[in-house]
Structure 1
Amino acid sequence: MTKKIIAIDLDGTLLHSDETISTYTVETLKKVEALGHTIIIATGRPYRMAINYYRQLGLKTPMINFNGSLVHLPEQDWPHELDIRLDPKYIWKLLDIKEEIELDFLATEYRDKLFINFDHRDQIDPKLFGLKEITDELELVANKISTGPNALLMKTRAKDKYALAQNIKEQFNHDIEVDSWGGPLNILEFSPKGVNKAMALQHLLTALNLDKKDLIAFGDEHNDTEMLAFAQTGYAMKNANPILLEFADQQLPWTNNEDGVAKQLEQLFLT
């Protein structure tokens, strides 16, 4: 059997709604990897909020974070590491229009740190950032920004986050990427222009001397469109945002809470 590269999103895809991975899924992915297939986490999450899942799965492969602006081998030096930064001017541009975009907070995300503006500090849920509490040291002020972040994250009170994402892209002349989170939270995430999971996977395939024809991918949300279109076979979860379906080759009959990824991999490789 040809060895496959399997790119998997986390939230809404591999993770249950309570942000856990089932024992069944962990065991299934380990069996698939033992057959020689390569499993890649491809997530919009920052490194600090994905590394525990990487360790739980026992992975040794590169990981894609921030929708592609960070491609790295966790806790190791890797000559093919990709670390793309967003021009910090967009931090201040977004804060300049914070009333117009109904901003609750804006967070600047780096591999190992973040800063958040405190205009609506009561709206900042520490769990959203993998933290126990929001401390004063995290306040976003100009003298803390010495380099551009890998990504920006904002929560808005706007009723239609998808329309807002499009409006912001147009306002900034499509010079940045704006994607939405799934679920009920009105969260938008910003990446440098041209950065997405497909771009990151192409970089990774080139670095590992692998072929796109052997790539399969699983996703559920707006930020997975390019990845599913790029893969030889792209699977949308049963719970996927309808926006994603036209980019997928197939929609799974199972949701993330039903271990859809593991069930599909079991059918493909273990039966």
Structure 2
Amino acid sequence: MTDKKIIAIDLDGTTLYSDGVTVSDYTKQIFKSVQDQGHHIIIATGRPYRMALQIYQELELDTPMINFNGAMISIPGQHWPHALSKHVDKAMVFELIKEEERFELDFLAAEFRRKFFINAFDKANPQIFGIDSFEAYHQMRMDKLDDDPNAILLQTRITDKLLLASQINDHFDNQVNISAWGGQNGILEIVPKGISKASALAHYLDVTGQDVANLIAFGDEHNDVEMLGFAGTGYAMKNASDVLLAHADHQIAYTNDEDGVAKTLERLFL
């Protein structure tokens, strides 16, 4: 492969180890070597900006970062004229609170670039939000929610997350896009209609004049479906969900805990 590539990487279950924190030294070394050849690595994650920034810095990236499953694209530390920030109507937050028994919700949270507000602490793991414990100012109140959030995060007791996602979408007349997180945590993330990691990558390709044929993407879960389907070449991890596999061009032989992304990039480019 001689053309310069855009390499979109999911974080959780893909680039990071299963502790949700660790990027191996091997991965950092491979990423640096790949970038030194002129290829561009772009983080595309469901995580908010505040929970991905440290990883971005560890990887020594200077490319745009995609957060909230595509609702935000920006270059940290720079004024990038093509930055985008999309928002969900805050009225949906209060509507979901009214329907929390129907949808069997443990909690829901309004997510912003640097902050979040959550309606219940007792059944929520603060580590989901990148903190050790909740503080009083994290408590959701109507007077605090004066802006539209980038995303709504919720945890459900319903086992079939994808069915619930469809029901919530119907409730809002298909005006949102809902993705499920991996694992057994029952987490769903709501962003505006038409927004996905793929839509953010399409915006990046458009403003930089690059061809989608040169886009490579790595992912493991439901929120990577559009991205892998859009990319010129889509790679699903060994640990990928069955939902994603149908949209991938290849499934790699290694998991996230086995540095699957880095091993594939080493084979392709180094």
TM-score by length of 1: 0.97
The partner residue of 2:43 within 41, 44, 53 is: 41
- Aligned residue in 1 for 2:18: 17
2:26 is the alignment partner of 1:4: no
Q: 1:132 Cα deviation (Å)?
A: 2.2
- Aligned residue in 1 for 2:265: 265
Counterpart AA for 1:250: H
Q: 1:176 Cα deviation (Å)?
A: 0.5
Give unmatched runs, 5+ long, in structure 1: none
Counterpart AA for 2:19: D
Counterpart AA for 1:198: A
CA distance in structure 2 between the partners assigned to 1:159 and 1:71 by the alignment: 31
Q: 1:76 Cα deviation (Å)?
A: 1.5
- Aligned residue in 1 for 2:255: 255
- Aligned residue in 1 for 2:150: 150
CA distance in structure 2 between the partners assigned to 1:115 and 1:12 by the alignment: 25
Q: How does 1:79-90 map to 2 (within 5 A)?
A: 79-90=81-92
Counterpart AA for 2:4: K
Q: How does 1:1-271 map to 2 (within 5 A)?
A: 1-19=2-20, 20-118=22-120, 121-270=121-270
1:15-38 per-position Cα deviation (integer Å, ceiling 9, x unaligned): 110121111111111110101000
Counterpart AA for 1:18: D
Counterpart AA for 2:105: L
CA distance in structure 2 between the partners assigned to 1:97 and 1:138 by the alignment: 21
Q: 1:52 Cα deviation (Å)?
A: 0.6
TM-score by length of 2: 0.98
1:103-129 per-position Cα deviation (integer Å, ceiling 9, x unaligned): 1110100001110002xx221211110
Q: 2:191 is paired with a residue of what secondary structure?
A: strand
Counterpart AA for 1:236: A
Number of aligned pairs?
A: 268
1:158-192 per-position Cα deviation (integer Å, ceiling 9, x unaligned): 12212111111122221111110001211000000
Runs of 4+ in 1 over 6 A off after TM superposition: none
Give unmatched runs, 5+ long, in structure 2: none
CA distance in structure 2 between the partners assigned to 1:125 and 1:222 by the alignment: 21
Q: 1:209 Cα deviation (Å)?
A: 2.1
CA distance in structure 2 between the partners assigned to 1:128 and 1:84 by the alignment: 22
CA distance in structure 2 between the partners assigned to 1:203 and 1:252 by the alignment: 27
User: Share of identical aligned residues, percent?
Assistant: 52
Counterpart AA for 2:59: L
Report the aligned-residue RMSD.
0.8
CA distance in structure 1 between the partners assigned to 2:123 and 2:41 by the alignment: 36
Q: 2:31 is paired with a residue of what secondary structure?
A: helix
